[in-house]
Amino acid sequence: MEQIKIFYDETGHTLTVWFDDPQKEAVAEAINDEMIVMKSESGDILGFEKFNVHFLHPNGVTINYAHAA
């Protein structure tokens, strides 16, 4: 299983989350004006990118992760 990768671009104010290998991306589909999803050739969602994300203190952001069994 791939590790989840989370990137915050403070200059562009985007948050990108990858659930799988970014190299598998074949399609980027806009969900709305604020978000796109990245998909593999087979249509599996690999990740998403959220626009206009503003953190007051990006280095102090805490991410909680719970794995459903």
In tens, the pLDDT along 2-35 reads 688 988 888 899 999 999 999 999 999 999 999 9
Kindly tell me if the per-residue pLDDT of 69 is higher than 70.
no
- Predicted pLDDT of residue 65: 66
Instruction: For residues 69 and 38, give the distance between their C-alpha atoms in angstroms, rounded to a whole number.
Output: 25
Kindly tell me if the per-residue pLDDT of 43 is higher than 90.
yes
The answer to whether 13 and 58 are in contact (CB under 8 A) is no
- Predicted pLDDT of residue 23: 95
Instruction: For residues 29 and 52, give the distance between their C-alpha atoms in angstroms, rounded to a whole number.
Output: 17
- Predicted pLDDT of residue 9: 87
- Predicted pLDDT of residue 63: 67
